[in-house]
Amino acid sequence: MNQDSPQIAIFIDYENVRVRKGAYESPRDLLQLIYDQLPENAQRRVVRVYMSMGLPEDKGPIRMNDIYNLHSMGADPVTVPSYRSGENSQRKNIADSVMTCDIMETIFTQEYIDVFALATGDKDFIPVVRMLKKYGKQIILLVPGSPARSLMEEVSILQSPEGSLTKIVDLKSVRRGRLRNQEEEDQEENG
């Protein structure tokens, strides 16, 4: 292994960070957006994208082409079941639990990984962030436009000079910048 390059593990909570309003964002596009935010010399050792399978009555919530594209980009798609919960039959899945277990396993079985990139805005990952800090791992947090306030409060603690947070990336801002650049390119071509 090249010691000069950071060894990185990437964990993506797809349902939490994908575009909620507007057009469907493919997992491939999201993964490329995330890859573009990471250090160029990073050695990607683990890349997992957690996706809901939907409910039995859903018509193919996961597109097979998406799964193929993730594999072709070096990622392991992890599909998790969905279920209905509560009085209003709210749709839920176990992606957070599965992702947490996988991160913990990676901390202890692949000790050479020194950077963990987490794409989520969910407060359920506060204990994970604390554990990564405890074991001296660097953290890159990629958040949607409106992450949980408690997660961001925890992250602000990690941004101190002795903290382990490498960087925070607001995916919504990055997307907006890309759209703005694309519109400018289109205007130049048409203008």
- Between CA 152 and CA 4 the distance in angstroms is 30
Whether pTM exceeds 0.85: no
- Between CA 115 and CA 64 the distance in angstroms is 30
The confidence score (pLDDT) of residue 70 equals: 92
* Radius of gyration in angstroms for the set of CA atoms belonging to the chain, rounded to a whole number: 17
What kind and span of H or E run contains 11? strand 7-13
The confidence score (pLDDT) of residue 33 equals: 85
Contact 156, 126 (CB under 8 A): no
Nearest to 114 by CA among 101, 142, 141, 133: 133
SS3 9: strand
Nearest to 17 by CA among 177, 174, 184: 174
Q: How many CA atoms lie within 13 A of 10 on its CB side?
A: 27
What kind and span of H or E run contains 102? helix 95-109
The confidence score (pLDDT) of residue 178 equals: 61
The confidence score (pLDDT) of residue 21 equals: 52
The confidence score (pLDDT) of residue 120 equals: 87
> Residue 10, Cβ neighbours under 10 Å: how many?
24
pLDDT along the chain (191 residues), means of 10: 79 79 69 86 92 75 83 93 77 89 96 91 88 88 75 64 59 67 61 61
- Between CA 166 and CA 152 the distance in angstroms is 14
Residue 9, φ and ψ in degrees, nearest 5: -120, 135
In this structure, CATH architecture of domain 7-190: 3-Layer(aba) Sandwich (3.40)
Pull the structure tokens for residue 115. Answer: 């950077």
